[in-house]
């Protein structure tokens, strides 16, 4: 396996016939497109990603955008960027630092140049470097002329002018023509990195199907960018990154983002359970895309209900669960806070419910478009009373599919609300996904109660809504419409078995302990540890830190430093072997995008000296920094 630690590999030029210029082969490249919020950088990044995916490279993406829809033009807070890491081998992160920065304006340059290592390539749209635009971000002198970019390979390109020139036949206003400059940039980068172009052209024709002139203008700009690369002397070299053939198991692949994979996982779970999917939700960044996606698939029997608030979103979902649906609510941290009381009711009612939390920076409104893992303790404990809820966390964008199925499995089998803790980084990031064979998806069939389940002393057959399955401790799911099973449930403490209101102290003690035991006994697979070298140091993670942690671990191992790695999917209950795993290592480091929430849980539960390495800057960990932290942990 090729490792992630190798920097850009410069190989001998391998010219290909159709190209007139030198071609070099690279192992991997990190590109960052940066521009104004209105410049279409996310679309440009998405298209380059699609081209790259269809070419067969492994890839990982990091969209990064402000919470404002259109922040003031040309300002630093308004900069939107999209970073893409692609390679001829398997990779795990969107990359620490871009090899190539495309800066569409002075703000984009200023906000991003510090991340580009010296020697990196910087493509600058010189048209936007007017005095006023530069002054807006504090450039008194043009950075293109004052020598501050001397260490970089700068390509000054008048992107706007070239685009307008290329589109002059279209009779568009200058403003309309300028809008295609992102496609010019995409064309240029597509030339530089030998990306296939058919997909983008097809995409543009379909996107602007109702405005064919705009479609053709964008395609013309895209081709003009490609041709510009091929003809201008400033771009002397183009690069090939071979498909990552060895990185992928045989199969059919597509590129997928975390929120899309999660949406598909929910639809798949609905099919595998044979139950209609019901989503009750209120729009919130970064979870809204799941509401949007599920709303598109009504022909799967999916009902989506955009509620008046977060509370009604989960309320409607819980009502649908009572009626026998696979019920889901989707939100982010602030929404979870509002839903807490209803989650507690679901714990008491013991009905299946998937609560999806796409975590973002907090507290309060926090950083809506940035990532964080700081809702773990909210998911674990954010309710009144003893109200245990299982917690499941995906580790990569594509893994959101499997994690959604797993959350639904637990919810249905144990009749309990389940937290599915994704985050903004997984939600918007994307990677190649091997499309699963739907015949091999897990069976989630959950039978409803159909008749009496208890015999009274006098021989009468009755239905007891809180008589439990002895193995799972789940209570029967008796849905309205089933004759003879009419029953009343509620949030008041219930008598064991009958479900009638009970204030009896001994019964409450029994019920609290039983609800806890039900969650503690949920079947989750043992934690697997990757430890080829008999390490003394274990790095333990959960959720979206999987990519950076794994990349960092590879770096250490390449240097001959032994380090063991384990990653938790189930945060509640923990895998049964977790205690034994922890006990086997001298040192345990837990990197988290919070102030040590998993570390607190681990230390409290297992009495081990696990150390947190924390970061709360709204961005994922960088592999290099994590590698340094792990090295330090090895040596002290």
Partner 1 sequence: MTDTQTAPTPAPAPLSLVPAAQARQSAKDFKSDQEVRWCPGCGDYAVLAAVQGFMPTLGLARENIVFVSGIGCSSRFPYYMNTYGMHSIHGRAPAIATGLATSRQDLSVWVVTGDGDALSIGGNHLIHALRRNVNLKILLFNNRIYGLTKGQYSPTSETGKLTKSSPMGSLEAPFNPVSLALGAEASFVARTVDSDRKHLTDVLQQAALHPGTALVEIYQNCNIFNDGAFEVLKDRDQAAEAVIRLEHGQPIRFGTDHHKGVVRDPATGDLHVVEAAGNEDRILTHDAHATHPTTAFALSRLADPDTLHHTPIGVFRSIQRPVYDTQMTHQLDTATQQHGPGDLTTLLTGNDTWTVAG
Binding site for partner 1 (CB under 8 A): 50, 53-56, 199, 245, 248-255, 264, 267-268, 271, 276, 278, 280, 297-303, 305, 307-309, 311-312, 315-325, 327, 341-342, 344-345, 349, 435-436, 438, 480-492, 500-501
Smallest distance from partner 1 to CB 283, Å: 15
SS3 636: coil
Measured from the CB atom, is 118 or 210 closer to partner 1? 210
CB of 369 to partner 1, least distance (A): 25
| Interacting residues of 362 by C-beta distance below 8 A, sequence separation 6+ | 333, 334, 372, 374, 375
Q: Which is nearer to partner 1, 117 or 480 (CB)?
A: 480
Give the single-character DSSP code of 194: T
Do the bridges between strand 237-241 and strand 153-157 make them parallel or antiparallel, or are there none, so unpaired? unpaired
CB 459 to partner 1: min, Å: 17
β-strands 22-26, 237-241 pairing: parallel
**Which is it for the CA torsion 549, 555, 558, 563, positive or negative?**
negative
What sign has the CA pseudo-torsion 373, 376, 382, 383?
A: positive
Radius of gyration of the chain (CA): 27
Which residue, chain included where needed, has tokens 């809820």? 389
Q: Which is nearer to partner 1, 206 or 364 (CB)?
A: 206
Q: Per the structure block, which two tokens stand in for 482?
A: 């089933």
| Sign of the C-alpha dihedral computed for residues 530, 536, 542 and 544 taken in this order | negative
- Nearest distance in Å: CB 249, partner 1: 7
Nearer of residues 340 and 594 to partner 1, judged by Cβ: 340
Q: Look at residues 43, 77, 76, 79 and name the one whose alpha carbon lies nearest to residue 61.
A: 43
Q: Which is nearer to partner 1, 481 or 534 (CB)?
A: 481
The minimum distance between CB 615 and partner 1, in angstroms, equals 34
**Closest distance to partner 1 from the beta carbon of 399 (Å):** 15
DSSP summary character for residue 569: S
Q: What stretches of 44-106 adopt beta strand conformation (E)? A: 58-64, 79-87, 100-103
- Cα 498 to chain centroid distance, Å, stands at 43
Q: Which is nearer to partner 1, 459 or 470 (CB)?
A: 459
Q: How far is the CB of 80 from partner 1 (least distance, A)?
A: 23
Bridge partners (DSSP) of residue 32 are 83, 101
Nearer to partner 1, 334 or 541 (CB): 334
Choose between 309 and 461: whose C-beta lies nearer to partner 1: 309
User: Over 356-384, what HEC string results?
Assistant: EEEECECCCCCECCCCCCCCHHHHHHCCC
Compute the least distance from the CB of residue 460 to partner 1, in Å: 11
Q: Which two tokens stand for residue 222?
A: 């895209």
Q: Nearest approach, Cβ of 508 to partner 1 (angstroms)? A: 17
- The span from the CA of 558 to the CA of 588, in Å, is 20
The distance of closest approach from Cβ of residue 240 to partner 1 in the complex, given in angstroms and rounded to an integer, is 17
Question: Which residue, 320 or 408, has its beta carbon nearer to partner 1?
Answer: 320
CB of 332 to partner 1, least distance (A): 19
Compute the least distance from the CB of residue 204 to partner 1, in Å. 14
Minimum CB distance to partner 1 smaller for 16 or for 439: 439
- List the beta bridge partners of residue 326: 277
Distance CA(190)–CA(440), nearest Å, equals: 37
Cα(86)–Cα(370) distance, rounded to whole angstroms? 22
3-state DSSP call for residue 427?
Answer: helix
CB nearer to partner 1: pick between 301 and 562:
301
- Token pair, residue 58, equals 């492994």
The structure tokens 């698939």 sit at 297
Terminal Cα-to-Cα distance of the chain (whole angstroms): 30
Cβ distance to partner 1 smaller for residue 141 or 246:
246
Contact status, residue 400 vs residue 436, Cβ threshold 8 Å:
no
Quote the least distance from Cβ 467 to partner 1, whole Å: 16
**543 in Cβ contact with 569 (< 8 Å):** no
> Which helix (H) or strand (E) covers residue 26, if one does?
strand 22-26
Pick 86 or 322: Cβ nearer partner 1: 322
Kindly tell me which of 130 and 247 has the beta carbon lying closer to partner 1: 247
Of 183, 191, 162, 5, the C-alpha closest to 89 is: 5
Q: Residue 200 CB, nearest distance to partner 1 (Å)? A: 11
């Amino acid at each position: 396996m090729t490792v992630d630690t190798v920097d850009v590999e410069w190989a001998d030029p391998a010219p290909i016939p159709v190209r007139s210029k030198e071609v070099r082969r690279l192992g991997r490249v990190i590109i960052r497109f940066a521009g104004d919020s209105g410049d279409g950088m996310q679309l440009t990044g998405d298209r380059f990603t699609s081209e790259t995916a269809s070419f067969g490279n492994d890839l990982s993406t990091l969209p990064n955008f402000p919470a404002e829809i259109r922040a003031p033009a040309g300002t630093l807070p308004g900069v939107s960027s999209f970073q893409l890491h692609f390679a001829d081998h398997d990779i795990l992160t969107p990359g620490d630092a871009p090899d190539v920065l495309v800066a569409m304006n002075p703000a984009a340059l200023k906000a991003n140049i510090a991340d580009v290592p010296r020697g990196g390539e910087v493509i600058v749209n010189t048209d936007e470097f007017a005095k006023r635009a530069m002054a807006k971000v504090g450039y008194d002198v043009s950075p293109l002329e004052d020598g501050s970019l001397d260490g970089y390979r700068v390509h000054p390109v008048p992107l706007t002018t070239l685009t307008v020139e290329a589109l002059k036949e279209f009779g568009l206003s200058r403003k309309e023509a300028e809008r295609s400059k992102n496609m010019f940039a995409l064309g240029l980068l597509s030339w530089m990195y030998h990306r296939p172009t058919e997909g983008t052209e097809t995409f543009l024709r379909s996107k602007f199907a109702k405005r064919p002139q705009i479609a053709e203008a964008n395609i013309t700009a895209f081709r003009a960018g490609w041709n510009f690369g091929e003809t201008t002397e400033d771009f002397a070299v183009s690069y090939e990154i071979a498909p990552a053939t060895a990185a992928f198991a045989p199969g059919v692949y597509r590129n997928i983002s975390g929120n899309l994979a999660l949406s598909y996982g929910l639809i798949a779970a609905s099919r595998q359970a044979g139950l209609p999917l019901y989503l009750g939700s209120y729009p919130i960044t970064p979870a809204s895309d799941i509401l949007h996606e599920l709303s598109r698939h009504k022909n799967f029997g999916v009902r989506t209900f955009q509620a008046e608030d977060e509370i009604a979103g989960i309320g409607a979902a819980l009502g649908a669960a009572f009626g026998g649906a696979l019920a889901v609510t989707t939100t982010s941290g602030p929404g979870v806070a509002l839903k807490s009381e209803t989650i507690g009711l679901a714990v008491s009612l013991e009905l299946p419910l998937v609560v999806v939390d796409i975590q973002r920076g907090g507290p309060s409104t926090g950083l809506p478009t940035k990532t964080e893992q700081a809702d773990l303790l909210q998911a674990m404990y954010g309710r009144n009373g003893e109200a245990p809820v299982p917690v499941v966390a995906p580790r990569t964008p594509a893994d959101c599919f499997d994690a959604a199925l797993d959350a639904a499995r637990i919810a249905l089998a144990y009749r309990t609300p389940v937290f599915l803790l994704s985050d903004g980084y997984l939600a918007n990031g994307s990677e190649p996904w091997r499309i699963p064979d739907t015949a091999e998806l897990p069976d989630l069939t959950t039978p409803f109660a159909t008749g009496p389940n208890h015999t009274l002393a006098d021989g009468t057959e009755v239905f007891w809504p809180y008589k439990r399955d002895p193995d799972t401790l789940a209570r029967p799911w008796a849905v309205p419409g089933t004759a003879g099973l009419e029953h009343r449930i509620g949030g008041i403490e219930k008598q064991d078995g009958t479900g009638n209101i009970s204030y009896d102290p001994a019964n409450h003690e029994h019920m609290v302990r039983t609800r806890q035991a039900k969650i503690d006994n949920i079947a989750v697979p043992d934690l697997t540890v990757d430890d080829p070298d008999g390490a003394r140091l274990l790095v333990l993670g959960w959720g979206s830190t999987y990519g950076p942690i794994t990349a960092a671990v590879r770096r250490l191992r390449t240097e001959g430093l032994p380090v063991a790695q384990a990653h938790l999917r189930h945060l509640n209950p923990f895998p049964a072997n977790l205690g034994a795993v922890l006990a086997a290592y001298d040192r345990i480091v837990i990197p988290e995008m919070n102030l040590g929430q998993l570390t607190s849980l681990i230390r409290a539960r297992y009495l081990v000296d696990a150390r947190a390495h924390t970061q709360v800057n709204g961005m994922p960990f960088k592999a290099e920094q994590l590698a340094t932290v792990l090295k330090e942990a090895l040596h002290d």
